[in-house]
Structure 1
């Protein structure tokens, strides 16, 4: 820990070297990141409440000439459950951070799309990039039962 910040309220934000604790958190298996135009979020809910709906909260830190599509348990279903349409004209992906525009959606997910056991949410950036700076930067993703 940097002694300059020891004892201040900044303690928990200035702990350099936290990457060395990776093996404490994941001693047996590494995290798997599958990079491409489709990201997969795999999960196994303890129980799916039926009837009822869920909300997928999806926040992007930045988008540049992108279209994000959301599908649940079927990568090929058309139309997707949700699509942003063409979004973004900032250049935060190129590390011009002050130019980023925050995007937030709350997407209704009917319980009929979820099942007991293994589920997958597919997030597809459907606009093929003409540039390495075209795409999205994720900030926050959460699936929760609606009250």
Structure 2
């Protein structure tokens, strides 16, 4: 079996048949992730799944004993719907340097359950900047899976002037309903003008704007904010 680990030199030799009776040995492979500037902050680990996020315990009403002691905890029925149970008053807020993705970053961005209907939900990422570098910051938004979702991204204010990204009807993976942790990988590279940021406390809003569907949702693989490149900065794939 051959698996990819982000940014790693592989010691495993990959053997790929080129035609009947022969083999081609590719040797060590290097995955060089896209990068333009130094990391300001990141959430998760880039392995094309949401497995390193918070996967809740199953509702006792729906326990499948087969997966009680399994590393595939996400296979339990109805886990995505538990987001509303965990955040009953408001949507998820994650603060860089304070919260831990494995404990505080819910593995699926789904609609909020409320009064017999499913409503749009907005996740907020709080972070602090000691200074703001003039230029264009880069938000890397790696998605492990998406199902019929509408996603908008705002910086600091949920107003048109602060809208930096928008996509509609994203994905047909059906990961939520099949109790998976990954589907078709997607990477969005979003430009964020330094004019939208301030020295001190900042926020990024991820809004799943499609309502009324319990089975739509986005599973984030990895999120990284990069600062603009400066003349004296040497880029490394850290």
- Name the TM-score, length of structure 2 as normaliser: 0.44
Cα distance in structure 2, aligned partners of 1:121 and 1:91? 26
> Which one of the candidate residues 48, 62, 68 is aligned to 2:132?
48
CA distance in 2, matches of 1:30, 1:138: 16
Given the alignment of the two structures, is residue 146 of structure 1 paired with residue 235 of structure 2, yes or no? no
Q: Which has the higher helix share?
A: 1
What SS does the corresponding residue of 1:112 show, helix, strand or coil?
A: helix
Deviations 1:11-38, CA, capped at 9 Å, x for gaps: xxxxxxxxxxxxxxxxxx7766698510
Matched-pair contact (CA < 8 Å) for 1:91–1:99: no
The answer to which structure, 1 or 2, has the higher relative contact order (CA under 8 A, 6+ apart) is 1
99-108 or 115-124, which deviates more: 99-108
Task: Give me the CA root mean square deviation.
Answer: 2.6
Residue segments in structure 2 that go unaligned for 5+ positions in a row: 1-97, 113-120, 230-238
TM-score by structure 1 length? 0.70
Give the conservation status (yes or no) of the 8 Å contact 1:55–1:146.
yes
Q: Deviations over 1:24-81 (max 9, x none)?
A: xxxxx7766698510000000121112x110000011111000110000112336821
Work out the CA distance in 2 between the residues paired with 1:108 and 1:80.
11
Match of 1:122 in 2: 205
Q: Which residue of 2 aligns with 1:69?
A: 152
Aligned equivalents of 2:182 and 2:123: distance in 1?
Answer: 25
Q: What is the CA deviation profile of residues 100-135 of structure 1, one whole-angstrom value per residue up to 9, with x for unaligned ones?
A: 1111101000000000111000000011142x2211
Point out 4+ residue stretches in structure 1 off by more than 2 angstroms: 29-36, 76-80, 94-99
Shift of 1:93: 1.8
